[in-house]
């Protein structure tokens, strides 16, 4: 589904990703862990198509296409979803209107029929229940006045509604209490399916107790330095990231 090869990315003149390679197949859940400043968020932003991220080398192929050529809205319509680390407040734009516009724009792009408001609301109600979000949030402006936890749950709610093929969760666990964390994990687990893949970017192992990944990768200084199964996250929790750095040094010597 997604194949990243030797990806080099520059942000504001500074190289952040320095030859990252990663392959994600349909149905898999990959966790990307790493210390602050390793380039975790850069990866999510580059995949979603944010401006200001300059790819200097390497390739990203998604479903057989060059992902980097596509506009952000095209990537979304093709099934790529980024759950933001810092969801943006957009005063004046009604949440329901935003979601319906987004969903129908994606459906239109794929040549599917647009949903009328009854069909749309039915779908919304189903998904809201899973994340224990209040109906009332739909009537507000996008993310405006939402608590930190509500913002993060709203991201997962959007994911549930838009049903992407590839979902990238950028530190969705940060700032969440244990109850909200479980709700987020439930939302993600309910969506796991053979046709869908997840890239879960996180700083802490805690989230991975609830969303058990198939693969764990450690990102340090712009490259993946270690890959393994879910037990790698446990080791990181015990030894800390310094352990990886030491191993890397030992390997280089």
Partner 1 sequence: MSAALLEEFGRGDARAREESWRYSKMALRSLAQQDFVAADPQAELPEALRARFDWRETRGRRVVLVNGVVSGRYSDFDDVGAMVTVGETGGAYAVRIDGKVDEPVHIVYVGVPSTQPSRWQADTSMVVVNGFARMIEQHLGVDGAGVLGSVHRRIDLGEGARLDLMSLCDLPESVALYRLLEVRLGAKAALHATHVLLGGRLQRLDMQVELAGEQARLESRGVFALRGRAHADTQLDVRHVARDTVCDIVWRGVADERARGIFHGAITVAAGADGSDAKLSNKNLLLSSSAEIDTQPVLEIYADEVKAAHGATVGQIDERALFYLRSRGIPLVEARRMMVTAFCREVLDGVADADLRERLARRMQAALPADGLQDA
Residues forming contacts to partner 1 in the complex (CB under 8 A) are 48-51, 71-73, 75-77, 81-82, 84, 87-93, 98-99, 101-103, 105-106, 109, 141-142, 158, 162
CB of 207 to partner 1, least distance (A): 21
Give residues with Cβ within 8 angstroms of 220, minimum separation 6.
Answer: 34, 35, 38, 241, 244, 245, 248
Which CB atom, from 60 or from 232, has the smaller least distance to partner 1? 60
Which CB atom, from 109 or from 134, has the smaller least distance to partner 1? 109
Which CB atom, from 7 or from 80, has the smaller least distance to partner 1? 80
Which CB atom, from 164 or from 213, has the smaller least distance to partner 1? 164
Rounded distance, CA 87 to CA 3, Å? 26
> Hey, how many other C-beta atoms are within 10 angstroms of the C-beta on 89?
14
CB of 142 to partner 1, least distance (A): 8
Which CB atom, from 166 or from 236, has the smaller least distance to partner 1? 166
CB of 235 to partner 1, least distance (A): 34
Rounded distance, CA 47 to CA 44, Å? 5
CB of 96 to partner 1, least distance (A): 13
CB of 143 to partner 1, least distance (A): 9
Which CB atom, from 30 or from 75, has the smaller least distance to partner 1? 75
Which CB atom, from 120 or from 204, has the smaller least distance to partner 1? 120
CB of 100 to partner 1, least distance (A): 10
Pairing of strands 80-83, 65-66: unpaired
CB of 145 to partner 1, least distance (A): 15
């Amino acid at each position: 589904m997604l194949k990243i090869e030797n990806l080099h990315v520059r942000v504001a003149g500074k190289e952040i990703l320095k030859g990252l390679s990663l392959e994600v197949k349909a149905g898999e859940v990959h966790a990307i862990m790493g210390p602050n400043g390793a380039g975790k968020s850069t990866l999510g932003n580059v995949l979603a198509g944010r401006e200001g991220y300059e790819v200097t080398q390497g390739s990203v192929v998604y479903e057989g296409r060059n992902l980097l050529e596509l506009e952000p809205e095209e990537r979304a319509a093709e099934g790529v979803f980024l759950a933001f680390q810092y969801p943006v407040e957009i005063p004046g734009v009604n949440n329901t209107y935003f979601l319906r516009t987004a969903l129908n724009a994606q459906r239109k792009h794929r040549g599917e029929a647009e949903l009328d408001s009854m069909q749309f609301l039915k779908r919304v109600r189903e998904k809201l229940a899973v994340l224990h979000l209040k109906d009332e949030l739909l009537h507000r402006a996008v993310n405006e006045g939402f608590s930190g936890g509500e913002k993060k749950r709203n991201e997962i709610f959007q994911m549930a509604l838009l049903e992407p093929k590839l979902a990238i969760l950028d530190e969705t666990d940060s700032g969440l209490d244990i109850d909200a964390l479980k709700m987020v994990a439930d939302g993600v687990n309910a969506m796991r399916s053979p046709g869908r893949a997840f890239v879960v970017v996180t700083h802490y192992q805690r989230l991975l107790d609830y969303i058990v990944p198939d693969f764990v990768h450690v990102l340090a200084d712009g490259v993946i330095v270690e890959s393994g199964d879910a037990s790698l996250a446990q080791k990181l929790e015990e030894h800390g990231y310094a352990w990886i750095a030491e191993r890397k040094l030992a390997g280089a010597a």
